[in-house]
Structure 1
Amino acid sequence: MLLKNGKVLQINKDGIVFNHIDIRIDGQIIHETGSMLIPHENEEYIDLCGDIVLPGMVNSHYHSYTNVIRGTSWGEPLEIWSSDTVNLGGILSGEDMELSVALGICEMLRSGVTACVDHLPHLKTAHNAAEIYSKSGFRAGLAPMLHNIRDCDFLHGMKNESSEQETKKYFPSIEEYMSFYDDFIRHFHSPEGTLQVILGVNSPQRADAELLEASSYMSDKYGLSVHCHLLETRWQQMSSGNNSIIEKLDSFRLLKSNTSLAHCIWLNEKEMDIVAHRRSVVVSNPASNLFLGSGIFPAHEYIRRDIPIALGSDGSNCGTNHNMLEILRLFLLMQRNNQNDYRLWIDSMTAYAMVTKNGSNVLNFPVPSGFIETGYAADLAIADKNSVLGITDLSLMNELIFHTPAVKIKHVLVNGKFLMKDSKITAIDEDALRNELSERKSYLKKSINKALVKATSEKQIYRSAYEKLFQKSE
């Protein structure tokens, strides 16, 4: 396939530039780029007429199950809010999950996102999710969650009177987790294609030593990357006491160059140094962190340690969407307000890498994405040139990042195939999807209301502990 006459975002020693060049795609790979490339005999040829070609973006931390439960919360601190999302997630059937995943794929494609890391909390519907990703051709790292400790069992100030035996009934056994992963990998792990499995520890404090050891074994056995939540809130940080969560993760050989850590708001200097030494990636989720009042991600501290930063949307039920340019814009504006020295504000090349190259590193597919260069995966988002002014290269880059709503994505390719063409999604029947969702609203409404009522008493326990703890500390 030959894409002619595009205005292509590329990176050179001077930063981000837009070159009027052609792109030849051979199978899944960008085979060559250059001016005046001549179509081969019988080669598919598309004249982009000056439309803007961008590397496909990556949503590096995401929970697809939340797409059909968005709007169910006005927002509360994470530990209180979690009772709702846990109960809401538990009501979803396999069919609900398939619709939720498909909805997320459509929304990401329309904003130029070509890949995601889906941290899947519910093993019962993980296969349903994987089937939709597989059929659609959307690139994904699937990270089914591993956890066997409840928040009430480790959070400081919580009075938990349940026995270890009672706690265990909430979770699969170690053997069941490992059996699940063996089967899931056998069915869906395909790094040479568009799907691969990631080892999805929920968080170090939500897993005991036996489960973390088993997780490390599975990561080594299959060569899996690792993805987990890490120190998202002040309450979590306080609850670790003198026991460093980072050191705990590191002690089980789970902190390495193919590890990505979501949130990372409340690490201390020593812990950041360990992350830097292990060359792991941190993933900020600015919209959800603001929605839940979790804190401000200390970007400068990571940047000065050369720790790569990627970005995620997190869950749709915490005040966010899946447009990674919007997430990037929010992230940058927050960081400027958090950095008094304007000379240390994040530059455009560093910023854009957070939703492209660094996200590709999180996914860790054998063929990388994030650049429009020979040898990279043909994951591309093509924007309508008429949706931006683009008077200069600098103004075009600024428009893409800071004036995101105006940017209209026209075509999207993943792995060399069009998943959206001329603004029509080809990977999924979007009209049928939205009709099905409309028909299920009544059923979902009843289930959602029931789940929220069920969560009420548990939320009150967390709310009481939270208010006592932080009223006392403040």
Structure 2
Amino acid sequence: MNFTIQNVLIPVTDSYTTTNIQVVNGKIAAIATNLDVIGQAIDGTNKLLLPGFFNAHTHSSEMWLRGMVSMYPLELWLAELYDFAPLDVEKVYLSALGTAAETLLSGGTSVVDHLVLIPGQELETIATAVRAYKEVGIRAFIAPLIQDESLIAGMPSGGSQPRQESYFRSTGETLAIIEEAVQQFHCPEGGVNILVAPTGIQLCTDALFTGCIELSNRYNLCRHSHLLETKAQEKLAQEKYGCTAVAHLEEIGYLSDRTSLAHCVWLTDNDINILARTKSTVVHNPLSNLRLGSGIAPVLKYLQAGVNVTFGCDGASSNDSQDLLEAIKIGSILHNITDFDYQNWITPRKAIEMAALGGATGLNIANQLGSLEVGKAADLVMYDLTNLSLLPRTDPIGLLVLGRTTNAVHSAWVKGREIVSNGQLTTLNVDELKQELFQRSQWENKGQSPNAKKIEPHYRKVMDLSN
């Protein structure tokens, strides 16, 4: 659809301007005052237009455990997740719909879903998420979460003899599933991208990483992974490689300008230099890092070193939300306590640049998305500046980032297609989705996880915690 947004506020260098924007065939065709109307005329009066943000790391199916998983560090939290995670394709579908809806209504037009796969139904799981995201119309980057080592391998041994448990699926079988998923579903022109996405060094062999590199090179795919989310993972990397995880990933060739890495909390200064040199992207997930006690990623150091950084919500049982504006706010102001030099702090304008252009850069599509420029795809979000949470009138972007913005997204477009209109999704009946989510769940509080109980003594020992 072609349309012209009239009299809308957009940011320019250090200020704002009121202008018109023409969208033709899904791309921004012109930005200027007094443009002729092409297609539908859309009133932008008292509204702010920004490029769509990226929810650059999440796990959609965790929605079914939001608010319920214990207050644990990641390693024990994962054990509980393994015990209680729902293994139901219909729930995968509904939670992908919910993730897309919450992302769109908080400023995001793209989502990177590090998708948990149902054992034995891996391709069906991916197909289900693809179907959900295509129905909603959000731009989807589906990164099937894969590993080839068992949960216990993700813990440092602490000098004791490591327990060996074989994983139920071989490395070769896992890589074959991903290749088949690429052949069936990878369609960037249609808004669906498949990424190679080993979960991280803690649960993946080098064979899995190198197999993913080969697939990435053969099919021109982006790469995704968790990296050094916890102190335990830092210890584990030293045990496995005798060097940092970042140094090892560089050695085997996983890092590149197509690689995005979630968390990156426990990195050395040399690690930071490696990320800058390889043009890898850090996806900052501040809320899950706080929720799981993982630590505060040194994001200001990353930015000063020239590392590209963007934001993610992470999964909805480690956050426990998909409110992208909330993640951007916390991910910005959290770092004011890590550096007393206020000139290094993240300003609201820098934050939205990280959320939009930073996300596009991490997926190697900054030439197509992430800023309001002629020729770029019309992935756009328009905010209602008369919304109570954005009043009284001061700095619109400051209000958006630093406030507690609620229900302020007026319209959103992906590839020029209107997905949100007047604050309502046009492609999804949210009331019906809410009813489905309600009917398929119940008020409950799970008991203690058997897996967490089993590994907790070892975790406390290797992390030097008293019993």
TM-score by length of 2: 0.92
Counterpart AA for 1:84? E
Structure 1 pair 390/115, CA: closer, same or farther in 2 (3 Å)?
A: farther
For residues 168-199 of structure 1, give each alpha carbon's deviation from its aligned partner in whole angstroms, at most 9, with x where no partner exists.
Answer: 32xx2233222212221122211123111111
Aligned match of 1:109:
104
- Count of aligned positions: 455
Structure 1 pair 160/63, CA: closer, same or farther in 2 (3 Å)?
A: farther
Question: 1:405, CA displacement in angstroms?
Answer: 2.4
Structure 1 pair 88/457, CA: closer, same or farther in 2 (3 Å)?
A: closer
Aligned match of 1:190:
187
TM-score by length of 1: 0.90
Q: Distance in 2 between matches of 1:5 and 1:365?
A: 27
Any idea what SS the aligned residue of 2:437 has? Answer: helix
Any idea what SS the aligned residue of 1:157 has? Answer: coil
Any idea what SS the aligned residue of 1:141 has? Answer: strand
Counterpart AA for 1:389? L
Aligned residues of 1:69 and 1:316 also touching (Cα < 8 A): yes
Aligned match of 1:7:
8
- How does 1:236-275 map onto structure 2 within 5 Å? 236-241=233-238, 242-275=242-275
Counterpart AA for 1:462? I
Question: 1:472, CA displacement in angstroms?
Answer: 5.7
Counterpart AA for 2:208? L
- How does 1:26-45 map onto structure 2 within 5 Å? 26-40=24-38, 43-45=39-41
Any idea what SS the aligned residue of 1:229 has? Answer: strand
For residues 135-156 of structure 1, give each alpha carbon's deviation from its aligned partner in whole angstroms, at most 9, with x where no partner exists.
Answer: 2211011100221123422522
Counterpart AA for 2:455? Y
Q: Distance in 2 between matches of 1:370 and 1:217?
A: 28
2:77 is the counterpart of 1:81: yes
Q: Distance in 1 between matches of 2:5 and 2:319?
A: 39
Aligned match of 1:234:
231
Counterpart AA for 1:415? K
Aligned match of 1:421:
421
Q: Distance in 2 between matches of 1:24 and 1:177?
A: 45
- How does 1:351-430 map onto structure 2 within 5 Å? 351-365=351-365, 368-387=368-387, 388-389=390-391, 391-392=393-394, 395-406=395-406, 408-430=408-430
Aligned residues of 2:9 and 2:44 also touching (Cα < 8 A): no
Aligned match of 1:19:
17
Aligned residues of 1:200 and 1:228 also touching (Cα < 8 A): yes
Q: Distance in 1 between matches of 2:77 and 2:11?
A: 42
Aligned match of 2:454:
461
Aligned match of 1:118:
113
Unaligned runs of 5+ in 1: none
Aligned residues of 1:10 and 1:372 also touching (Cα < 8 A): no
Any idea what SS the aligned residue of 1:355 has? Answer: helix
Unaligned runs of 5+ in 2: none
Aligned match of 1:93:
88
Counterpart AA for 1:9? I
Counterpart AA for 1:426? T
Aligned match of 1:202:
199
Q: Distance in 2 between matches of 1:32 and 1:280?
A: 32
Aligned match of 2:48:
52
Question: 1:389, CA displacement in angstroms?
Answer: 3.2
Q: Distance in 1 between matches of 2:59 and 2:162?
A: 31
Aligned residues of 1:77 and 1:294 also touching (Cα < 8 A): yes
- How does 1:268-417 map onto structure 2 within 5 Å? 268-365=268-365, 368-387=368-387, 388-389=390-391, 391-392=393-394, 395-406=395-406, 408-417=408-417
Aligned residues of 2:7 and 2:45 also touching (Cα < 8 A): yes
Aligned match of 2:208:
211
Aligned residues of 2:83 and 2:449 also touching (Cα < 8 A): no
Q: What is the RMSD of the two structures over their aligned residues, measured on CA atoms?
A: 2.2
Question: 1:157, CA displacement in angstroms?
Answer: 3.5
Question: 1:313, CA displacement in angstroms?
Answer: 0.5
Question: 1:390, CA displacement in angstroms?
Answer: 6.4
Question: 1:162, CA displacement in angstroms?
Answer: 4.8
Question: 1:321, CA displacement in angstroms?
Answer: 1.9
Structure with the bigger percentage of helix: 1
Counterpart AA for 1:7? V
Question: 1:347, CA displacement in angstroms?
Answer: 2.8
Structure 1 pair 50/75, CA: closer, same or farther in 2 (3 Å)?
A: same
Q: Distance in 1 between matches of 2:344 and 2:44?
A: 37
Aligned residues of 1:9 and 1:55 also touching (Cα < 8 A): no
Q: Distance in 2 between matches of 1:462 and 1:385?
A: 51
Fraction of identical pairs, as percent: 27
Any idea what SS the aligned residue of 2:305 has? Answer: coil
Q: Distance in 2 between matches of 1:222 and 1:113?
A: 27
Q: Distance in 1 between matches of 2:237 and 2:172?
A: 27
Any idea what SS the aligned residue of 1:115 has? Answer: strand
Any idea what SS the aligned residue of 1:101 has? Answer: helix
Structure 1 pair 56/472, CA: closer, same or farther in 2 (3 Å)?
A: closer
Aligned residues of 2:275 and 2:307 also touching (Cα < 8 A): yes
Q: Distance in 1 between matches of 2:351 and 2:403?
A: 15
Q: Distance in 1 between matches of 2:449 and 2:117?
A: 21
Any idea what SS the aligned residue of 1:471 has? Answer: coil
For structure 1, which segment, 228-237 or 144-153, has the greater mean C-alpha deviation from structure 2 after superposition?
A: 144-153
Counterpart AA for 2:101? C
Q: Distance in 1 between matches of 2:114 and 2:31?
A: 35
Structure 1 pair 4/156, CA: closer, same or farther in 2 (3 Å)?
A: closer
Question: 1:67, CA displacement in angstroms?
Answer: 1.4
